[in-house]
Amino acid sequence: MTVNTVLANETELLQQAANGDANAFALLYSHYRSLVYRFIYKYLKSPQLTDDLTQEIFLKVWKNKEALTDRQAFKSYLFTISRNHTLNFLKRASIDNTAKSVIINSYSPSGSLEEELQTKDYLAYLQSILVTLTPQSREVFRLCRQEYKSYDEAAEILGISRSAVKKHMIKSMKVLGDAVKRDLGIPLGIFLTVLLK
């Protein structure tokens, strides 16, 4: 059986894999690995981390192979596991400086068209949240987060106090943090670091 015939024989392969047939699982792995890899890469932008997580995901599926007989839509099941595993990694990375550093340093906005479109989608999302802020809060965010001005510099430019700038930033970061956690399921720190690198 070749990889090209996997979809036509998926039910049979899943049953065989559930019974411990490593060869059947290897065929499923060969067919779906590249799809899972591309899915994870959209989040991490790191070949090294993406490869590691891809291996971990398939290992997780194999360890729970007995459940495969109950899966009518293996692809959907696999991508649900991939998404949850990746988002959990990103949450851990928000407090793991080493992992966070690898993600940030691996990110390249000048990659493939698909990656550029993904970045544009995230930027569009960011803008959609920023428009819900007051004009002054948006301007403070732009100066401090996108132009890397200090609070003192932003205060001087806008003609307001440093404490006012700080209050605007606290409010803006709370609105953004709540939105990103709700809609994307990842920490605001990872989201902003990737976009505003």
**Are 51 and 113 members of one domain?**
no
Question: Domain residues for 23?
Answer: 3-103
Going residue by residue through the chain (197 aa), what tens digit of pLDDT does each one get?
444 455 557 888 888 888 988 888 888 888 888 889 888 887 777 788 888 899 999 999 998 888 887 666 788 888 888 888 887 887 776 655 555 555 555 544 444 444 554 556 677 888 888 899 999 999 999 898 878 788 899 999 999 999 999 999 999 988 988 888 787 766 676 666 556 55
**Are 33 and 125 members of one domain?**
no
Q: Is the pTM of this model over 0.85?
A: no
What's the CATH code of the domain at 42? 1.10.1740.10
**Are 9 and 62 members of one domain?**
yes
**Are 114 and 98 members of one domain?**
no
The pLDDT tens digits for 102-147 are 555 554 444 444 455 455 667 788 888 889 999 999 999 989 887 8
Q: How many domains does the chain have?
A: 2
**Are 83 and 116 members of one domain?**
no
**Are 151 and 172 members of one domain?**
yes
**Are 27 and 82 members of one domain?**
yes
**Are 147 and 180 members of one domain?**
yes
Main-chain dihedrals φ then ψ at residue 139, nearest 5 degrees: -70, -40
What's the CATH code of the domain at 133? 1.10.10.10
**Are 95 and 37 members of one domain?**
yes
The pLDDT tens digits for 54-64 are 999 999 999 88
**Are 173 and 99 members of one domain?**
no
**Are 129 and 156 members of one domain?**
yes
**Are 121 and 93 members of one domain?**
no
